[in-house]
Structure 1
């Protein structure tokens, strides 16, 4: 069965100024109704080059407890590396449909890798206004180049260079988050899979939408990985739930957006919180984002760090294999 891509639906919808009913969210989710319009605090921005280690740790800890999300600047990823990553991703999504379909997700596969549209089950049969491409960028032993576009030709190089830099950013974040819990700097990284952590890149492509007041690119969710490190394009759309209000994330050129995911919430025994977020869409422009999800290997068991658990502070989460956690979450089953 051929899957209808949102990009194709979007090009038809723009002439009619309507969208198919399956993309219209219930009122309690519609961005026009639910986006907070009052004065809102900004998502914290953290200078990763801060020479004051204690101040850096404190800033990351506070943001991870209060928000579950923050933006980082002076992170060490060169501007041209980010620009090239964005350029090759944009070129891929501008290819003719038949060229993109070469990289389509394999039907019936347990893996999410490949070019696709809907990811999670929706109980009401609603659809998100987004197409995507998933593939692993690290470690080398996990990479399946079948899902890496050959066009544009510089796609592979741009992604490999970005992967090298993003691992350095991740290590710095893991260290700060560990120290903030009063454990050794390597504790969270080891607890999330150590050197076997899988770096899964996703490119989200949200085509222009004639009714951005009614649709969502991605519905409200938390990420089931440990950390998400995201590059946005200049079209805003990321929203975060803070104090029961949906607020817009401000676009900061060349900043990386860091989400605390479910596995860090579990490892920290609830000290850090996984952030509930969603994506809105734009009427005139395509929005894109490049999240990298840091996932434990499927067979790896994640539970609260033993150093954080005692009689006064019992474990709040079950230890389980990451693949079982992910399966339950994708299929809306209790954990």
Structure 2
């Protein structure tokens, strides 16, 4: 057995006093943290109301959040007894969420670790982008870092205990014919604390045909996007290059 053990990433980061040159963004593409605003108005919704007499009002609130922000926060502080109903030691156990799509959709989960950065003004955790999928559900714990582009300004999303952050992906923008927005967002780093975020991405099946919903098309609202398969979109998204924040324009009519 080797007498030495390679240092963990966190140990290596603690010895770094400046951002390595390969990770320094061009001056025109830096976070400009002093210009970021703090907005506490991103809607906070309790989706339990969907199962009671407030169903219609909750649906309306979701729609308004998707139109005005492209993001909302979902309150999920359920009693432990409720959470344990879906707990299992069996990783193959199915639940209603995974079975209701008949296995035709894709779900991806990531765990992002952003160590403390000695010069957070020079780089990003993740640069600005829009998500190519249908919807993303994010747990960002208690360390801020998520920022959303709202009215041309970057806005920090302050963590709220016991909430998930839900953001609309490109496919919802297409199906809604631009009524709902897939907005640009990014992750910034800080010099004091490690940040962990856990996003879950929900995607259509690769052969799903995406297009504006016929019910949303009329003489005053012509279709803005052509039909395409999600596989085509996904491939173009990853080939778009590092400087392209989204590829929706490639599919516009």
Q: TM-score range by the shorter chain?
A: 0.7 to 0.9
Aligned to 1:233: 141
Aligned-residue CA RMSD (Å): 3.0
Q: Give 1 or 2: higher helix fraction.
A: 1
Q: Is the 8 A contact 2:39 2:157 kept in 1?
A: no
Tell me the alpha carbon deviations over residues 152-179 of structure 1, each in whole angstroms, 9 at most, x when there is no partner: xxxx949778x848x39xx9xxxxxxxx
Paired residue secondary structure (2:122): coil
Q: Deviations over 1:228-263 (max 9, x none)?
A: 011112211000000111111111112010000000
Structure 1 distance, partners of 2:80, 2:43, is 21
Q: CA deviation at 1:202?
A: 1.4
Contact 2:106 2:202 in 1 (8 A): yes
Match of 1:71 among 55, 70, 73: 73
Q: Is the Cα contact below 8 Å between 2:113 and 2:194 reproduced in 1? A: yes
CA distance in 1, matches of 2:197, 2:176: 27
Whether contact under 8 Å (1:207, 1:287) holds in the other structure is yes
Q: Shift in Å at residue 56 of structure 1?
A: 0.4
Matches within 5 A, 1:1-335: 8=9, 11-33=11-33, 35-37=35-37, 40-50=39-49, 51=52, 52-74=54-76, 157=89, 164=95, 167=97, 196-332=104-240, 334-335=250-251
1:111 corresponds in structure 2 to none
Question: What's the CA shift for 1:194?
Answer: 7.4
User: How high is the TM-score relative to the length of structure 1?
Assistant: 0.61
Long gaps (5+) in structure 2: 1-7, 241-246
Classify the secondary structure of the residue corresponding to 1:250: coil
Q: Deviations over 1:56-100 (max 9, x none)?
A: 011111110000001011475969969xx9xxxxxxxxxxxxxxx
Task: Return 5+ residue gaps in structure 1 as ranges.
Answer: 1-6, 86-155, 172-192
Answer yes or no: is the 8 Å Cα contact 1:241–1:247 preserved in 2: yes
Aligned partners of 1:48 and 1:75 also within 8 Å: no
TM-score by length of 2: 0.79
Moved more, 226-235 or 264-273: 226-235
